[in-house]
């Protein structure tokens, strides 16, 4: 089941006896937990019918015993079992001894008065393990992994709906470009914008442009755009704004260098016939970043990208060795990068 579908079901008070949340997207896991608690229990029940276990400190047997015990009051109890590291291929050494077969047996006949949530906030678990296979089959399994570009638009729309505001595709695209794909930050910024425009209203592009907080990755993208557009004045303006925010030239060099390296790798992989998704997997970047990089690499020759990386490395060394003032060195770097672009163009 998808993340959005699961939350919608919870809002309708339709619950599964067992949930399995897996992946590294913290925002999704927290949102699912909040949706379950808000809709699954009354306020007065949370003290008696809600338990949290850390599976690096408690065994799965203890959790199942609790799940099989009747709630004190009300019709149901909710049990969260976090850090299910025993599902990994190489779980950490723990004093706790887990017996996965106990969980497997429970999955076959879960208690009708309990909602058990197993959380594995890891990049990978061992899909070959019998217990993982059974969880995927018997539990309501929800992937909480970084979103694909096409899912990101749906989720941002859903977050806006949660804050009772409307957003257009133009604003969603601006969100992604400015903030990136961190769901926690997207939710925080959406909350701020919702307060600004008021419930029931639409967030306009000018509202987003006025209030969205600039992120590091966004800053490097903007600088890259200025460089690619041969716009030295804009590049220097962006740099001045970042300096006011206490961004160091050394950090900005690292960000731009990272962008150039990604473009170079994408260009090489594209020449080898890699797809966008394959590039994202190979380079360990979000698919949206891969898409932007594919678009941007077309404006550079491979030789030009290598020269830019060399120039960035040289400037970094000059600043760190004290041979040049850091602000002056960075402005000169921008001039040289753009001069090379104009020469190529």
Q: Are 121 and 29 in contact (CB under 8 A)?
A: yes
The mean per-residue pLDDT over the stretch 251-271 comes to 88
Q: 199 and 290 share a domain?
A: no
**Over the Cα atoms of the chain, what is R_g?**
25
The pLDDT tens digits for 90-132 are: 888 877 889 999 999 999 999 999 999 999 999 889 999 999 9
- Whether residues 180 and 269 share a domain: the answer is no
Query: Above pLDDT 70, what percent of the chain?
Result: 92
Helix (H) / strand (E) element for 336: namely: helix 326-344
Q: State pLDDT tens for residues 18-46.
A: 999 999 888 889 889 999 999 999 888 88
The pLDDT of residue 95 is 78
**180 plus 272 within the same structural domain:** no
* Residue 187: CATH number of its domain: 1.10.8.60
Closest listed residue to residue 166, CA positions, set 204, 195, 196: 204
Q: pLDDT: is 306 or 218 the higher one?
A: 306
One domain, residues 177 and 67: no
Same domain for 181 and 163: yes
Coil, strand or helix: which one is 3?
helix
Q: What is the DSSP string of 138-186?
A: HSEEEE-SPPPHHHHHHHHHHHHHHTT-EE-HHHHHHHHHHH-S-HHHH
Same domain, 186 and 298: no
| Res 101: pLDDT | 95
> Cα 28 from chain centroid?
9
Check whether 55 has a pLDDT greater than 80.
yes
Distance CA(339)–CA(327), nearest Å, equals 18
Among 187-191, 287-291, 330-334, which stretch is predicted with the lowest mean pLDDT?
A: 287-291
At residue 214, does pLDDT exceed 60?
Answer: no
Here the tokens at position 221 are 């993208």
Torsion sign (Cα): 177, 183, 185, 187: positive
3-state secondary structure of 78: strand
CB-based burial label for 78 (10 Å; 0-12, 13-18, 19+): buried
Looking at the structure, tell me whether residues 99 and 135 fall in a common domain: yes
Residues 204 and 238 occupy one common structural domain = no
Q: Number of structural domains, the chain?
A: 3
Both tokens assigned to 231 = 């716009």
Q: Which domain holds residue 340?
A: 216-344
Domain with 71 in it: what CATH number? Answer: 3.40.50.300
Boundary-marking domain end, from 114, 143, 172: 143
Domain boundary among 89, 111, 143: 143
Looking up residue 225, the CATH number of its domain turns out to be 1.20.272.10
Segment 330-338 mean pLDDT: 88
C-alpha to C-alpha distance for 132 and 111, rounded to whole angstroms: 20
Are the C-beta atoms of 21 and 29 separated by less than 8 Å?
Answer: yes
93, 167: one domain:
no
| Together in a domain, 135 and 260 | no
193 and 304 assigned to the same domain: no
Same domain, yes or no, for 70 and 202? no
CB-based contact 9:129 (threshold 8 Å): no
Chain-centroid distance, C-alpha 72: 38
Quick check: 215 pLDDT over 60?
A: no
Of 211, 228, 250, the last residue of a domain is: 211
């Amino acid at each position: 089941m998808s993340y959005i579908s699961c939350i919608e079901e919870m809002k309708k008070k339709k619950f599964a006896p067992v949930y399995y949340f897996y992946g590294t997207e913290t925002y999704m896991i927290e949102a699912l937990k909040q949706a379950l608690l808000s809709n699954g229990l009354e306020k007065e029940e949370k003290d008696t019918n809600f338990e949290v276990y850390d599976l690096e400190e408690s065994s799965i047997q203890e959790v199942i015993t609790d799940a099989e015990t009747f709630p004190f009051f009300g019709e149901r109890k909710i049990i969260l079992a976090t850090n299910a590291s025993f599902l990994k291929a190489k779980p950490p050494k723990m004093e706790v001894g887990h017996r996965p077969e106990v969980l497997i047996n429970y999955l076959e006949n879960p208690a009708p008065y309990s909602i058990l949530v197993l959380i594995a906030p890891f990049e990978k678990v061992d899909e070959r393990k019998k217990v993982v296979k059974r969880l995927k089959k018997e539990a309501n399994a929800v992937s909480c992994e970084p979103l694909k570009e096409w899912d990101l638009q749906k989720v941002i729309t859903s977050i806006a709906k949660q804050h009772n505001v409307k957003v257009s595709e133009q604003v969603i695209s601006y969100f992604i470009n400015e903030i990136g794909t961190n769901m926690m930050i997207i939710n925080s910024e959406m909350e701020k914008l919702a307060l600004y425009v008021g419930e029931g209203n639409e967030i306009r592009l000018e509202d987003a442009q006025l209030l969205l907080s600039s992120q590091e990755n966004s800053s490097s993208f903007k600088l890259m755009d200025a460089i690619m557009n041969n716009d030295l004045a804009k590049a220097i303006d962006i740099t001045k704004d970042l300096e006011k925010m206490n961004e160091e030239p050394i950090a900005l060099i690292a960000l731009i260098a990272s962008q150039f390296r990604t473009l170079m790798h994408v260009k090489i992989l594209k020449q080898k016939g890699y797809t966008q998704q394959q590039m994202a997997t190979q380079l360990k970047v979000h698919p949206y970043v891969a898409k932007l990089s594919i678009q941007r690499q077309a404006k550079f020759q491979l030789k030009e990208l290598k020269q830019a990386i060399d120039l960035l490395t040289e400037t970094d060394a000059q600043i760190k060795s004290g041979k040049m003032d850091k602000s002056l060195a960075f402005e000169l770097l921008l001039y040289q990068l753009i001069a090379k672009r104009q020469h190529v163009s």
